[in-house]
Chain A
Amino acid sequence: MVKLNMVEAINLALREEMERDDRIVILGEDVGREGGVFRVTDGLQARFGDERVVDTPLAEAGIVGTAMGMALYGLRPIAEIQFDGFLYPCLDQITNHIGRIRNRSRGRFTCPLVIRVPYGGGIHAPEHHSESPEAILAHTPGIKVVIPATPNEAKGLLLSSIRDPDPVIFLEPKRIYRAIREEVQEGDFTIPIGKARLVQEGRGVTIIAWGAVVREVLNAVEELKGNKIDMEIIDLRTISPMDVDAIITSIRKTGRAVVVHEAPKTCGLGAEIIALINEKAFLSLQAPIERVTGFDIPVPLLKSEHYYLPNPQRIVAAVKKVMSF
């Protein structure tokens, strides 16, 4: 086992899978010679050549639209969209074509591709570089949405995403790209799409999170030490399809929940999760479910970013509120 950060783990997963599967083509802005603005594809063009690791013209819709064509013809494209805020022009391709082609063609044409996107705030980046668009994507039929929360998870989930028969958007929480270093399983190992991860078992309250805020939840747990609150933490890993069973099983045990996400509150995934709990485990609830989220505003510039991001303090307050109901 080697200790890697998330950038290194994703790079390793890409490298190993490209060795195994020569149908894989990586395409995007600055992914080749530069090795990606976050160095995620560092060294891959040198190893696999510029036909398999391709610097494209600057056109996000062009990147994912042509990736769809490649996938139709039997390649396994992995497109990189450099930052979350630049994913929006791709929504036409993703919503109207990539997510529909299997259904429209009655299974005759399929589109197994991966779109990797560094996402989320917290790195003091410029405007349009700190977005959390996951709810828009989860709301889009025909695509899967995967979000790793640690380096090892990133490797196993990315390999599953590449091998999945359907399009997967792989959102990489850039705030923790280099913040966590952990042992990453070597070789060919996968983590199934659609299965949540039980980060910590508990009986008092369920905290549901994904991506970078999982770490904030763990920090909140530290702060709550000594409060005798028995917390169960679920990292959803895949937000579409969501592991509803994992959520419901936990709620039946704890009866209380807090959902944490960085995206804006209104119509965020927290709303969907709470609706699911109401549908399937309403009678188990002992308190209204709390949400700790971003706000319904554009992510502020760096001087005000700390106002926006969910932090351990806000999570602690929500947990205490749920527990004291």
Chain B
Amino acid sequence: MSLFEDYYSLKGKMFQMLKPDGTLYSEMGAPLNDQETLQLYQRMVFIRLADQKALMLQRQGRMGTYAPVWGQEACQVGSAHALQKGDWVFPAFRELAASLMMGIPLKTIYLYWMGDEEGSRAPEGINVAPVSIPVGTHPLHAVGVAWAAKIKGDKTVTIAYFGDGATSKGDFHEAMNFAGVFKTPTLFFCQNNQFAISVPRKIQTASETIAQKAIAYGVDGIQVDGNDLFAVYTATKEAVDKARSGGGATLIEGVTYRFGPHTTADDPTKYRTDEEMEPWKPLDPLVRLRLYLREKGLWNDEVEKRLTEEAQKEIDRVVKEAEAVPAPEVEDIFKYVFAEMTPQLKEQMEYLKETLA
């Protein structure tokens, strides 16, 4: 029986592997070896610190609006780890972790939120699309790329990341439907972080789960504990393998919690209380993994200190580099609109240069 049959979304079961106390649910053991697990934990430490740094930079006026990933690290690290380099990723706007995992440099991510268009330029060979701020619009692109790969006979898999709010958009449903009809190698990864800005999950949809929306489209759907790195990785790996071998799309609902604000532009105390957050705090994805690693003898305070210091040093170096990037030139806002600048754009650019002279 496959994982998706076992956890068929109408059974009301959430797939979990790692308990909040760091022990495993099953005798089957962990899906990743110790070395890999420690490496992923290291990435999660780095990501959390890089995320906090962005929040701090925003508060100091050194960065524009920023959407923190705080609390959702396992969803993104676990799922991205199941992909191969060259697979296509379509992030929403909270995907610092998945983007880093796929090879987008932190400097690029920081530049984007600092308001530099260069922050949307993925390095060659890294197929991570620019951030998609219009909610829920990009899963269609993930389907299109996957469909094209299928037509061309490539083994490429695509993944779209989005939140619970996006599942209310028509585009999301069209994407699911196309993926079902054309059996595209697409993963829909919904990070259900319980809020669309201030609007709680229960107002977003009357469905019992988001995973069960897959059923109507003839697509597999599974709900996983999004704060459980092992469960996220395992479910995503199975969906990736299935997609790569022609088995079609999967909707994965990672149940998680947004510890931070929607973005730096909002104040969560306006719409949620500390009491609401309290039960989620012990479910922190980093805490759980730390407990697991400690039990294995791979983690102690000293390890944490070393990982933190290394990460902090690297992040500080990247911030320095990002802040040293010169301000964009006039040409930069005109030259990428078309393959060749139109006469109108040339004229407008010259006019702007004159006014600045």
Contact B133 A58 (CB under 8 A): no
Contact A86 B134 (CB under 8 A): yes
Contacts A61-B170, A128-B133; is A37 near B204 (CB within 8 Å)?
no
Q: How far is the CB of A54 from chain B (nearest CB, A)?
A: 9
The 10 A-B residue pairs with the shortest CB-CB distance, nearest first, are A302-B115, A34-B198, A57-B168, A58-B165, A303-B115, A301-B115, A59-B168, A300-B333, A295-B348, A58-B168
Of A132-140, A158-166, A197-205, A307-315, the stretch lying at the interface with chain B is A307-315
Q: Which residues of B contact A56 (CB under 8 A)?
A: 199, 203
Greatest chain A CB density within 10 A among B198, B332, B352 is at B198
Greatest chain B CB density within 10 A among A296, A303, A313 is at A303
Contact B134 A307 (CB under 8 A): no
| A interface residue numbers (CB < 8 A to B) | 29-30, 32-35, 37, 55-59, 61-62, 85-86, 88-89, 124-129, 265-266, 295-298, 300-305, 307-308, 313-314, 317
Contact flags B195-233 to A (C-beta < 8 A → 1, else 0)? 011110001110000000000000000000000000000
Q: How far is the CA of A129 from the CA of B263 in the complex (A)?
A: 14
Greatest chain B CB density within 10 A among A35, A57, A317 is at A57
Contact flags B72-115 to A (C-beta < 8 A → 1, else 0)? 00000000000000000000010000000000000000001011
By beta carbon, the residue of chain B nearest A303 is: B115
Of B149-157, B265-273, B278-286, the stretch lying at the interface with chain A is B265-273
Contacts A34-B270, A124-B64; is A58 near B166 (CB within 8 Å)?
yes
Q: How far is the CB of A315 from chain B (nearest CB, A)?
A: 10
Q: How far is the CB of A219 from chain B (nearest CB, A)?
A: 15
Contact A305 B203 (CB under 8 A): no
Q: How far is the CB of B180 from chain A (nearest CB, A)?
A: 20
Contacts A297-B345, A301-B116, A307-B352; is A55 near B134 (CB within 8 Å)?
no
Contacts A124-B64, A127-B131, A303-B327; is A33 near B115 (CB within 8 Å)?
no
Contact A30 B198 (CB under 8 A): yes
Greatest chain A CB density within 10 A among B333, B334, B355 is at B333
Q: Which residues of B contact A303 (CB under 8 A)?
A: 114-116, 327-328
Contacts A29-B197, A127-B131, A304-B117; is A295 near B352 (CB within 8 Å)?
yes
A59's contact among B116, B170, B345, by CB below 8 Å, is which? Answer: B170
Q: B28: CB under 8 A from chain A?
A: no
Q: B135: CB under 8 A from chain A?
A: yes
Q: Which residues of A contact B352 (CB under 8 A)?
A: 295, 307
B355's contact among A265, A298, A313, by CB below 8 Å, is which? Answer: A313
Contact A57 B355 (CB under 8 A): no
Q: How far is the CA of A124 from the CA of B198 in the complex (A)?
A: 22
29 contacts between A and B (CB under 8 A): A30-B197, A34-B197, A55-B198, A55-B203, A57-B203, A59-B168, A85-B134, A89-B169, A89-B171, A124-B65, A126-B64, A126-B93, A126-B263, A128-B133, A265-B344, A295-B334, A295-B345, A295-B348, A296-B337, A296-B344, A296-B348, A301-B64, A301-B115, A301-B119, A302-B115, A303-B328, A304-B327, A307-B333, A307-B352
